Structure 1
Amino acid sequence: MSTTGTIDKTAIRNAATVIVLRDRMGEPSILMGQRGAKAAFMPNKFVFPGGAVDAEDARVPLATPLPAVCDGRLRDDSPDGLQHPLAVAAIRELWEETGLVLGTPGTWEGDVPEDWTTFAATGHLPSAQSLQFVFRALTPPGRPRRFDARFFLVDADDIQGDLDDFTHASDELSHLQWIKLTEARQFDLPFITEVVLAEVAGRVLDRDPPESVPYFRNNDEASLFLRLRGFPMPDHP
C-alpha cells in the first residue's frame, strides 16, 4: 500500500481490491496473502491484494480504460470521476503487493510518478480493460480503519509475465499463494472476504461483467445489502 500524503485514520477512504482468478475453466484458484500480525486493519487475515486510493492515482494515465459497463456501475452512489483513480489504484496495489503486472507493453511519456517507477521499468503501461467491478463493501463503524472498497475481478490470463513470480512484491502481504477456490474458506478470512468469494464462485463460468453489483453498506444507521445497477455511459460526439 502506498504511503503518499497524510492519512486521516478516522476518515472513510476509497479503496480498490483485486481478485485474480486463475484456471477458471479447470480448477479455479485465487491469489491471496496474509496481513501482518501488527497490522492495524485485519491483522493475520488472508486477503486479496488491495489498498486505498492515493491522490496521485487520478493523474496516472491508463493505456486502456475500464469496460464501459463497469465505469457506469462505479458511478452508482459514488462521485463521478472516481472510476479512473479506482482502476489505477487496483493496478498499482496489485503490482506493489504481488509484483504482478496488469498492463500492456509500452513506454511512459514524461516523468513517471514515484509509486510507478518499478512498474514502468517492466516496460508496461497500466491497463484497466480487463478489470471487472464485481463487489463493493463499506467497512462497519468502530473499526480502526474504514474503507469504501471496490472489488475487481481479473482473469489471470490477462496478467503479464510469470504468475508464480512474486519476487517484486513488497512485504505488505506474506505467504502469497494461489488458493483453490474450493479450499479458500479453510484459511483465516475476514467475513466480507467470505461473502465476496461466494460471489466470485458464482461467476467462474461467466466472463462478462455482472449486470448488477452487490453493495454491502455499513453505516451508523444500518447494514444494508444493496445492488448497484449503474448508469448508461454518456454519448460522445
Structure 2
Amino acid sequence: MTHPSDAIDKTQVRNAATVIVLRDRMTAPRILMGQRGAKAVFMPNKFVFPGGAVDKDDHAVPLASPIAAPCAARLEDDSAPGLGSALAAAAIRELFEETGQVLGTPGTWAAAPPDWQAFAATGHLPHAAPLQFVFRALTPPGRPRRFDARFFLIDAQDLNSDIDDFSAASDELSHLQWIELDRVRSFDMPFITEVVLSEIAARVQDPTPPASVPYFRNDDEESLFLRLHGRPQPD
C-alpha cells in the first residue's frame, strides 16, 4: 500500500534537462560548468552543468530540427509519450539562459513565449539535432526539490555563438568556465555529476550516441542503475 506521504513526494518530481557542452574533444577536452549560488535551494555552491526544469511553454516551442535517432527513441523509454521534444526545448532554453550560448539555426518566429523571447531575439530557432541523450537520473526522496533529469551531450562546435562569451548569461550560475576533463574532479560537484562525468570521460573519443543510456533511478523503495535501450519503433 502506498503511504500518503509517498504519493505527495512523487507529485513533486519535475522533468528536467541538463546540457554537457564538450570542447576540443579530440585534443584537450574541456566541459562548460558554473557554480550555483550559496543561497540556492537545490545544490548550493556546487559546480554543475547548465540545466533546469521543463516549463509549460517548452511543450509548444517550434524546433528547427528534432532530436535524432536513436536518442529520440531512448527518451521515450519509461517516459510520457511526446516528452522528448519538450526536454530538448528545455535543454536549449536553459543552456541559453544560464550561459548565453545559442544552440540554434538562423530563423525567426512570430510569437515566442515569454521565457523564449530573449532566445528568439538572437535570430535563431532551437536546433535539437545535435543533442545526444547520454544519462538520466532521478533525484532521491527527501531532497528539497526532486527532478527526473535527462543529460544531453553536445559538441561546442554545434553552438551558433561565441563559446568564450558569457555576457548574455543570467546570474543563476557564476564562475562560468571551460574546465579540463582531467582536472574537473578537483571542483565541488554533486555526486551524480561525478557519475555522469565518468560516463563522458569513457566516451570522449567516440562522437556516436551510446548503445544504451544509464538511468540512475532513486525512487521511494530503492536505488536502481538501469539501462535505457529505446522502445521498438513501428515499421
TM-score normalised to the size of structure 1?
A: 0.93
Task: State the secondary structure of the residue aligned to 1:185.
Answer: helix
CA RMSD of aligned residues (A): 1.3
What runs of 5+ residues in structure 2 fail to find an aligned partner?
Answer: 1-8
1:20 corresponds to = 21
Task: State the secondary structure of the residue aligned to 1:205.
Answer: coil
Q: After TM superposition, give the deviation of residue 137 of structure 1 in Å.
A: 0.2
1:227 corresponds to = 227
2:209 corresponds to = 209
2:174 corresponds to = 174
Distance 1:101 1:208 in 2: 22
Q: Structure 1: which amino acid aligns with 2:70?
A: V
Q: After TM superposition, give the deviation of residue 9 of structure 1 in Å.
A: 10
Runs (4+) off by over 3 Å = 232-235
1:124 corresponds to = 124
Q: Is the 8 Å Cα contact of residues 9 and 144 (structure 1) preserved in structure 2?
A: no
What does 1:78-227 correspond to in 2, within 5 Å? 78-108=79-109, 110-227=110-227
TM-score normalised to the size of structure 2?
A: 0.94
Q: Structure 1: which amino acid aligns with 2:137?
A: A
Q: Structure 2: which amino acid aligns with 1:17?
A: T
Distance 2:119 2:56 in 1: 18
Q: After TM superposition, give the deviation of residue 207 of structure 1 in Å.
A: 0.8
2:34 corresponds to = 33
Distance 1:161 1:23 in 2: 16
Q: After TM superposition, give the deviation of residue 234 of structure 1 in Å.
A: 3.5
Size of the aligned set, in residue pairs, is 227
Distance 1:211 1:14 in 2: 23
Q: Is the 8 Å Cα contact of residues 21 and 28 (structure 1) preserved in structure 2?
A: yes
Q: Structure 2: which amino acid aligns with 1:112?
A: A
2:5 corresponds to = none
Distance 1:134 1:13 in 2: 19
Q: What is the CA deviation profile of residues 163-212 of structure 1, one whole-angstrom value per residue up to 9, with x for unaligned ones?
A: 01000000000000000001110000000000000000011111111110
Distance 2:170 2:43 in 1: 18
Q: Once the two structures are aligned, what percentage of the paired residues are identical?
A: 74
Distance 2:54 2:167 in 1: 24
